[in-house]
A and B are shown apart, each in its own frame.
Chain A
C-alpha cells in the first residue's frame, strides 16, 4: 500500500523549505502575464458600460478607428442587445501603446437607452421592482428548502431560543494581478496565450472551442500568476477578446483588466442575509434551527451559503433564495459559501450559549461532532489563554475593552483523479518533473520538487519543475476547491517512485544486488544489506548513456484524504468612544493532513486568516441605488487589510495524519465568526453585520443605551 512513510523517515517532506520561485520573485525576474512583452505587441482595452441596465441602440467605432496608432476596434455587444450590469463589455481596441488604447476607448460612441435597474437586494425584492431576469418570477429564484427531523418538536424541547438576522455583504476578490492575457497567433492556425489563470487546460479548452481550433493548436502558459482566489477559471470575455484582436492584427495583444473592471466584472463573493430562529436544550444541545435567507450573486444565481454549519442540529428547516440584481456575476471566492455561513452560525452559537449561561467553548464541545476540532478546541484555547476571557461580556472599566471569541470551519480538499505527470531522470543526473497544474502562489511548484527530491534522495533545488504550460500535454485540473495538492502530489510521488525503480533496475547488476535491496539518499544509491556497495547519483545516471528514464504516475487514493477541520480564536480590543476595533491576536489551528512544505502551509494559514480578517472588519462592495454604479471600485475605498490591521497570528499546522489534504481555502472560514464573537465579549453588544466597522460598533452601542 502506497504511503508517505513515517515522519521520522522524511528528510524533506514536512520541513520548512523556502520556495523555489523566491529568488525570481524578490529580484523582479518572475514574469507574470502582465509582464510579458512580445515583439511588436499591441495593447488592448475594453469599453464598458457605466449604466447598469440598457438597450444598445447605437455603436460607432469610426472615430476610434481613425485615431493614429489604433490597429483594431471590434464590437463586443451588438446593437439591439441588452446591457445588464455596470462594466459589461461593449467594444474593444488594440493600439500601439496603452495610452493610445485608453484614448481610443474614449472615442467609441455608444448610444444606450437606459432601462430601470436594481442594484441592491432590498430594491430587487421590493414591491413593484422592475423585473430584470426573463427566466425568474420577480427577481428571486425558487426557494431551495431543506428539512430534517421535526422542527416544532425540536423547539418544544428547547429551554432557550434565539432569533436574529445576520448580514454579510458582497466582497470582491481583489486579485493584485488583474485578469488578463497576452495572445499571439502564428499563421492564423496556432494560438499561444499567456494567461493569468487558475486553469491552463480549462483556458485552452475554452479558447480552442471559441476559435474552432483543435486543442493541440492552442498553448496556454501561466509561469507565475498574481492571485486568483477562485475567480480565474477561464479566458472570459477579455481573454477571447485579446485573442480576437491578435488574430485580426496579426500581432501579439496584451489585454489586462483595469482595477475598476476587476471589481465590476471579475467575480465576487455573494452576499448573505439570513434570519434564523434556533433553540437549545437546558443541557446545552442544539435542538432546532429554522432559517430563511437570501443573497445575491449579481445578475446570475449562485448566492449559496452554508446553514447550519458544522454543528449538529437534529431538527431543522432552511430556505434559501437567490436574488438577482443588475451587477456583475459572482464567482467562486475562497471557500464559497463558508465564511459567511460560519460567521452567522458561530454568532448564533454564542448567542445561544449566553442564554444558557454556558461558556461558548463548552457549548461547542457538546454540539460539534468532529473529533479533530474537539482536539483543536483544547489546543487553541490554551494558545489564546481562553481562561483570561471575561465571563461578563462588556465588563471592565476604561474606554478600551478587550474580548475573546472563537469560530470554526470545515473543508474537503481531498483532490481527485485526472492529473498526468512525468518525472524524467537524464543521464547527466538532472531531473525534471512536469505536469499541467499551475502555481497560484500556493507553492505547488516547490512542493513537487520536495516530493521528487525526497523520493530520489536529492535536494529540491536539483529538480527542475515545469508547471503552468499546456505544451507538454500533461493535463491537470484547475486549481480550485483546495484540490491541487491532493490531486497532484500522489501522481508526482508515484511517477518519481516509478522512475527510481527503473533506475534501480539499471544499477542493480552494477552493484551486484537485487533491485529491492537498493535505496537512495543524499545523492547516493546504496545496497541496504551491504552499505559498502554504493554508487554516486551522477555515476548511476551516467549508465543510462543516450537514454533517459521518463515515467508517469497514477493518482493513488491512499496518498490523500479529504476533510480539513479548523478552529480559530480571536482576541480584540474595542474603543467604545471611537468604535475603533483592533484585532490583537488570532490563533488558527488548521487541520491540513500531511504538510508537504510546512513553511508554505504556514503562509497559507496566515493568508487565509488575513483574508478572513478583511471580510470581518473591512471589506464591503457599495452599490449606489440611484446611479446603479459601484461606489468603491478601487483600492482606496474598497479596503483590504494592510500592515496596520495585521494582528499577531499564531498559525498552527495541525497535521494528525500523513495523507495530503488541501489547505488553500479552509483557513479563511472561521475568522469572521471568531472576531465577531470577540467583539461581543469585549463590549457586550452584538454586531450582526459584516464588516464590523467603527460606525456599526457605535450604532450598536447607541442602540443598547437607548
Chain B
C-alpha cells in the first residue's frame, strides 16, 4: 500500500455512471411507460433516485397504489412503503436479513411461487398476485403449515420463521407429499440461526399429512 493518504467516500462521477447504467437497465427490462420521465441531467446527483413511478401492487388480494423509485425493491414496499393515500403498508413479516438473496428471510409468493422479495424490484411485481406470510391464513384459520410450525415448536427467535413458513407452503403447493430429502431441497434457500431445522422438517411433514 504505497500511497499513505487514501480518500474514502464516493467518487461522484463514477457513482453517477453506475447509477445511470442501473437505471437504463431497469427502464429497458420493465415496461418503460411506468417511468415518469425525470430530468436526464447527466450530472444530477441522484439520477436513479429521482426517477419515480406510480405502480399498483396486488398484495394478499388487495391493491396498493405506491410511488416507487426504479431501485425500490418489493421488500422495501412491503415493509416501509406508504401508499398514495398516506397509509403505511406495514407488512413486516418478510424480513431483510442477508440483503443478497441468500437467506430466504424475505420470501413471499408471487403467483404461488416462492420469491426473494429483496431481489425483486417493486416494478417487476406489478400485475402479479403477491402473497406474504400475513396473507396465508384464512381469517382466524391458520394455514396447515402455520399450525404445524406452532405444534412442533419449529421456531425459536422467529425472525426467519415467516420466510420458512412461506417457503414450506410453496413447497407443499408444488409437492404435496415431500420426502425428507425433498423438504431439505425445498427449504434450502432459507437460513435459520437458532437451529430449528429438525422441528421445521417435522412440521412440514405434519402439514403435508393435513393438506
Contact = CB atoms under 8 A, between A and B. Distances in A.
Nearest to B134: A28
Interface in B95-110: 95-100, 102-103, 105
B184 A110 contact: no
B131 to A, nearest CB: 11
A585 to B, nearest CB: 12
Contacts of A51: 6, 8
B191 A635 contact: yes
A226 B162 CA distance: 12
Interface residues of A, number: 76
Contacts of B9: 106-110
B93 A18 contact: no
B40 interface: no
Interface stretch (A1-9, A95-103, A387-395, A526-534): A95-103
Interface string B132-175: 11101100001001100111010111111110010000000000
B197 A26 contact: no
Contacts of B72: 99
Contacts of B90: 37
B199 A176 contact: no
A28 B153 contact: no
Interface residues on B, range: 35 or more
A633 to B, nearest CB: 11
Which of A54, A642, A644: most chain B CB closer than 10 A?
Answer: A642
Nearest to B90: A37
A643 B196 CA distance: 10
B158 to A, nearest CB: 3
A111 B3 CA distance: 13
A438 to B, nearest CB: 11
A225 B157 CA distance: 6
Contacts of B100: 259, 634-636
B149 A611 contact: no
A67 B45 contact: yes
Contact of A114 (B1, B91, B156, B191): B1
Interface in A617-669: 634-636, 640-644, 646, 649
Contact of A607 (B6, B10, B132, B195): B195
B93 A227 contact: no
A23 interface: yes
B95 A643 contact: no
Contact of B5 (A35, A114, A225): A114
Contacts of A311: none
Interface in B1-33: 1, 3-10, 15
B193 A227 contact: yes
Given A18-B151, A27-B134, A606 B196 contact: yes
Nearest to A27: B137
Contacts of B98: 259, 634-636
Contact of B158 (A109, A175, A441, A644): A441
Contacts of B188: 642-644
20 contacts: A16-B153, A19-B150, A24-B158, A25-B158, A26-B133, A26-B146, A26-B162, A28-B91, A37-B88, A51-B8, A68-B46, A106-B10, A176-B103, A176-B159, A176-B191, A177-B159, A224-B159, A607-B156, A635-B191, A642-B190
The 7 closest A-B pairs by CB, nearest first: A28-B93, A441-B157, A226-B159, A610-B195, A607-B195, A25-B158, A35-B92
